[in-house]
Amino acid sequence: RRGLDHPSSISSRKMDKADADKTNSSLSGGGGTNEADAFAANLNFPATYEEPNLSPLRDNHSAYPSVAKTCLQLNQYAMNGSSSAMEDTNSVQSSSLFHDASFVNTMGAEGGAFAALIECIQTHDDRRAKIVACKTLALIARAAYARIRHSPHLFALRESTNTRLEDEVGTDVPMALASVALEDPDDGVAAAALNALGIMTLSSCSIPGSLVEDELLREVMSIVHGRPSPHSPSLGVLQDQESNVPQLELQTRIYDNVMAPRLMQFVGRVTAFDTPNHVRIVLPVLSASLVHLSKTSPPVLYGMDRTTYAKRWIEYDFVNLVNEVVDVLLLPTMMNSHEAQLAFAASMSAIRLIGACPHAPWVPETSHWIIVVLKEQAGSADNEEAKMTALASLLVCSRAVPLPERLSTLEFVFSLLLSLRSTSIAPYGVNSPGLLLDFWGIRHYRRPTRVAFLTELALAFFIDGPVDSANSRALSLESFLKSNPVSMSINELASDDDIAQPGEEFVVAFCSVAIETGRKLRNHDGGRSVSGERFHEWVRMSLALLKAFLPCVTWQGSSPAFMEEELNVLVAAQTNFVGLFMDLLHASGLLKSKSVSLKMSPSASPPNMLWDQLEEAATFLSKHEPIAALSPTELESLYAIVTEFTSKELRGRGVVSHHMRLFLLSFSVDQWIQTQHLSLNAGQKDLKDKMAKGLLQALSPRRIFGKLVESNKSQIDQYSKKKKESYKKYAQETITVCVALIENMALFVCNYKRKFGKSAETTSVLNHAIASLQGKSDAESDAPVLPVCKAAIDRIQAAVQSSRSSQDGPSFSLLIPPGPLKRRPVVTASRSHQSKDAYNVGYLMQLTRQIVAGRIDSCLLSFPTVYPFPAAARKQNWLRLGLPPLPSSRNPKLPVTRDSNYSWGSQVSSLSGGSDAAAVALSHSMRRILRYDGEDEFRFVVSMRVHNITAVEVPDGVRLELGIHHENAATSSDAMDAVSQDVYHALAESNDDPFGESSLTSATALYKPGLKGGEHITWEVTLDVLPMAGAITINPSIVFRSMEQEPTHASWVGGETKDDIGDGENSSTGKGINSKGSRSKKQKGSLKEHICIPCEPMLLSPMIGLQPCPFVFFRDGSGDVDSFRFLWSRVPYQVPPMKVGVVNGAVSTSHNGSSLAAISTLRFRGEAIPGGLVTKLWAFMSSGGKRALFVMAESEDDKTIHIRGDDKSLLSCLVGTKKARCAMAAALEPGTQPLEV
């Protein structure tokens, strides 16, 4: 699960029980063992880790089991420390105790473990012993390099012995492995040595954007697992040094000093291997070295010519070296190998080399064979994750292939995506934006599976890859949409109970990509107009999508009532379909900024988080001008789409969604009016009255009102008075929009009539308009006409009789309000009464939307424009594996002020007294735990360093004890004030117990060897997920083991004596106890006892377990306001608002977490609310997946912080006590304190 980058990788520890029973520890608690400890106990590791016996490694003829046992002991020693035995109780994930001096001597000194392993590799008779020694040497060297690199913030001084060990790990060990790889006659040993170099250099947790990052791995894992963007904030930005920095330095040293100068020799040796398995295990490190060389090659970076710098070109000419690797090694392997694993490894290496040399002559042929291999791998994969990895790699590789050639590959990927489940699992405890679920006590995250792949498919048509002709993208997309798997996924939704159907995700992904591509065209080349050829290609592709996705208008979900908010992927698909239709109409000049669609329709229906996004789209479009007009062929295609939609609306139930019906009808009317207006100005006589009659029939106010009543007739009686008023208001606004649309059509026909004269078509359309307003097309033709309809009829009749015509544009209804569109508020009332299933579906829908947006961002930011510059100006790397820079507008920075009060991530305190025999330094931090699967995981780590500051040795070592008290805020003595009680009662409304008992986590480490004067030991304890129920207090203590009792005369100071010299006997001590007997006992044998020294406790900030919410900050540091709005309106718990202000004399503590609050702040422009203005939003998540949300509202008199969350204990921890509220106020708004009465 975890790599050896961090020494706390394995937790299997046992303690000397007899020794523990003798000691009266100052702390106790915890009890029981967790699942990891139970598993470790089954491995039968020794209870006490003695220093390994290296003699089998130095004996050339030793048996292989002896060598393997020594290697196992070395691995245990490198991970668990110096002669230590440990026992961890509940909630402790791992711990390790190290004595740096002995560790360095055991590992790197002359005759140490490194030298013994190198001797075994070079001279042992058994090849198996050489192979296991190679792997062990790499593992312990990498672990040792991470172990000796202590945090520079925690420990300012670095020991010289550690520097020597760094040189041995960074130079001597890799040089020895390189020599074995080149000189050993056994191919298996040489391959193991090269593989060992890969163990030291390759990592799944590199720093994004660094030279040694595996870019392909990051891209593939992002597609497969839907991970947050590398630009999203995390606790890593607040650490003084990331955990993967030592690994980065080690990788760079080995690549530059060991691998690069010998790379040509390595390639020659690998090409001579006969066994496929030997080639397979060395390909990753070989390709990584070539990629690193391509980024750092001096001839390329500094423009050295071959004549002057011939020697440097020979040494670093990676171009010819890559060509040889591809031609001699990778291509033959993919073409002829019958080993599936070897072919797959060769294909992955080839993709990395294509990213490094995108314009090499071998790229086309290599890409072809990569696709062949990956198709076979994906089709024969025996598990879902392997299939997804192969499909993601296939999509990445196909980016460099011209679009017509990769069409079959895209269809193949889509057909396999249909067999995947809608969600996949992420492990509990990682920093995941997924949905946290709990089944039978087992927690895990769920995240969407298919949507990232579908987005990449859409990008493949709209943006990615070269094209061979102007219309290749449109033709390929039309062909793709007509294929059987695609058409079946759209027309035949599955009937199972899956959270999202492939067809729904398909519409979401493709329409989103089309919308963003069209908006990118508006900003083409810094605002210059885009060419007509590019625009018309986008129009053709958008029309193809609208035509293919038209069945989505009749997709039926749960058929909610008019006033209910439904949030799922189906509604998201319909929203994106309507959004693409709106963008297409506006870009082609068929949707004006003063139209009903942009001015009235967005706010005429009840609030819905998805449909409200069209308000932002309307605001965006109103600031831009159209790009170009549609061609006659494109207009005919648009007419066909509108006609088909109208016919669907008039048949059967029609469009189920009220929002979708209103938007599509308004867009259809506006495009009909604008199209006829253009024809009118051009002198063309083509009214298209058939389409107009269908739209007028569908827009009948009586018909629309009947559908609204039908959808609410079973729920209207349960509505509250306030909700009934809202229902009445939105129903009236919906009818007003329909009347405005009908009036607009009639007013335009009047203008048409004045120019071309009266005709049967104009008369028919006007009669249909009047009849629609009067409701005569319905059965209740005698019902009274609504006042708003009657007023519109009067205006239409007046316009028919008037001779004045509009020359500037189509006439607009007087019902259209002036001024800008009023947007819906972000901060809304709570909807926590909705079911848990509705919340889960809505959460995954929001995450789906963000995954799609994140993949689009990654593509658009990788290219300077949607379409690349000409080849003569710039050559494009189509694989786009590099991390694109984020615009400054989306990259908020931390405050410039970074004094001690703003530091976060590490706190150091001295906890011992001046007269104590040991100096204890204690620090804590939230540290990244490196994992093989590359997931982000942060855990609370306590570091304890003990110095022997006396001049004498502690002969039998020490035992370190650590107690961590998790206080329940509800029962704290600091929660007895009125405000704290209000918080408690607000959270304790339900009958269940909202708060548990206070808990105690304890851990013990035993160091048995003597601790000499001036030496120190370091103990690190990594806790499991923090409970976050209240204040956390760390209570350390030291036990000096088996200390001799002081001689009797030591107690004479201040005591009464008979004879200071005499016979050496004393009558009493200062306490009046006769010591004669004890002294005589000492003469027979010295008495020893354990001396326990409790240290000063350390109180932690309540924010220590928090981090920026990855669900809200999925794409970047600005945050997603819609996701925040979703959580704010649906989390179940809230506490009374907290008023804050500047208090004279208030001093902020050094644990206020202001930097954490700074990176957890959403970029928000503010919003007016009754009585004030919402100015700031914060979103936090604990390491256990629980969320806390904060909203700052300001008025002229004060500032108020509103607080909601999804966990009672978390909210109680953050604001349940007076100290916690002071810390939160100082962190969120520096310089303020709660204003409590």
C-alpha to C-alpha distance for 567 and 575, rounded to whole angstroms: 11
Identify any residues that bridge with 1093 across adjacent strands, giving them in sequence order: 1038
Res. 1048 pLDDT band, cuts 50 70 90: low
Alpha-helix runs per DSSP H in 945-1075: 978-987
In tens, the pLDDT along 86-133 reads 555 567 888 888 888 888 888 887 788 999 999 999 999 999 999 999
In sequence order, what are the residues at sequence separation of 6 or more whose Cβ sits closer than 8 angstroms to the Cβ of residue 911?
920, 921, 922, 1036, 1095, 1096, 1097, 1098
In sequence order, what are the residues at sequence separation of 6 or more whose Cβ sits closer than 8 angstroms to the Cβ of residue 208?
218, 230, 883
Measure the CA angle with vertex 176, ends 174 and 182; round to 5°.
100
DSSP three-state, residue 765: helix
Among candidate residues 740, 733, 734, 731, the one with its CA nearest the CA of residue 789:
740
DSSP three-state, residue 1037: strand
Mean pLDDT of the chain: 80
In tens, the pLDDT along 275-306 reads 999 999 999 999 999 999 888 876 555 555 65
C-alpha to C-alpha distance for 21 and 17, rounded to whole angstroms: 6
In tens, the pLDDT along 814-833 reads 666 655 555 566 676 666 67
Among candidate residues 703, 845, 727, the one with its CA nearest the CA of residue 786:
703
Q: Which range scores top for mean pLDDT: 17-21, 490-494, 766-770?
A: 766-770
How confident is the model at residue 815, as a pLDDT? 62
Residues in the chain: 1237
Q: Give the number of other CB atoms < 10 A from CB of residue 812.
A: 19
In sequence order, what are the residues at sequence separation of 6 or more whose Cβ sits closer than 8 angstroms to the Cβ of residue 1200?
1137, 1138, 1139, 1140, 1172, 1192, 1193, 1194
Res. 898 pLDDT band, cuts 50 70 90: very low
Identify any residues that bridge with 958 across adjacent strands, giving them in sequence order: 1007, 1040
Among candidate residues 632, 697, 1103, 712, the one with its CA nearest the CA of residue 907:
1103
* Token reading at 453: 């792949």
How confident is the model at residue 1104, as a pLDDT? 86
How confident is the model at residue 234, as a pLDDT? 87
- The larger pLDDT score, comparing residue 527 to residue 790, is at 790
442-448 and 423-427 strand pairing: antiparallel
Element holding 71 (H helix, E strand)? helix 64-80
Q: Cβ(449)–Cβ(498) under 8 Å? A: no
State mean pLDDT over 140-157: 75
State mean pLDDT over 1138-1158: 72
How confident is the model at residue 929, as a pLDDT? 86
3-class SS shares of the chain: helix, strand, coil, % to 5? 50, 10, 40
How confident is the model at residue 1120, as a pLDDT? 92
Give the rounded percent of residues in the chain with a pLDDT score beyond 90. 30
In tens, the pLDDT along 563-593 reads 778 888 999 999 999 999 999 999 888 888 7
Is a pLDDT exceeding 50 seen at residue 1229?
A: yes
CA 233 to chain centre: 9
How confident is the model at residue 199, as a pLDDT? 93
In tens, the pLDDT along 1186-1226 reads 999 999 998 888 899 999 999 988 999 999 888 889 889 98
State mean pLDDT over 598-627: 82
Q: Which range scores top for mean pLDDT: 582-596, 716-730, 1043-1057?
A: 582-596
Is a pLDDT exceeding 50 seen at residue 981?
A: yes
Amino acid at position 1187, single letter? R
Res. 174 pLDDT band, cuts 50 70 90: very high
How confident is the model at residue 1046, as a pLDDT? 63
Q: Which range scores top for mean pLDDT: 861-870, 902-911, 922-931, 1081-1090?
A: 922-931
C-alpha to C-alpha distance for 972 and 30, rounded to whole angstroms: 20
How confident is the model at residue 11, as a pLDDT? 31
* Residue 292 vs residues 139, 288, 750: alpha-carbon distances, Å: 22, 6, 72
How confident is the model at residue 686, as a pLDDT? 73
Is a pLDDT exceeding 90 seen at residue 787?
A: no
Q: Cβ(708)–Cβ(731) under 8 Å? A: yes
C-alpha to C-alpha distance for 442 and 457, rounded to whole angstroms: 35
How confident is the model at residue 1008, as a pLDDT? 85
Side-chain-facing half-sphere of 504: CA atoms under 13 Å:
24
In tens, the pLDDT along 1064-1090 reads 333 322 233 333 333 333 444 557 788
Residue labelled with tokens 């984020």? 886
Q: Cβ(1029)–Cβ(996) under 8 Å? A: yes
In tens, the pLDDT along 842-897 reads 999 999 999 999 999 999 888 755 444 443 344 578 899 988 888 777 776 655 44
State mean pLDDT over 214-230: 92
In tens, the pLDDT along 653-706 reads 778 888 888 999 999 998 898 888 887 777 777 778 888 889 998 988 888 888
Q: Give the number of other CB atoms < 10 A from CB of residue 41.
A: 13
Is a pLDDT exceeding 70 seen at residue 904?
A: no
Q: Give the number of other CB atoms < 10 A from CB of residue 182.
A: 15
Q: Cβ(485)–Cβ(414) under 8 Å? A: yes
Amino acid at position 971, single letter? T
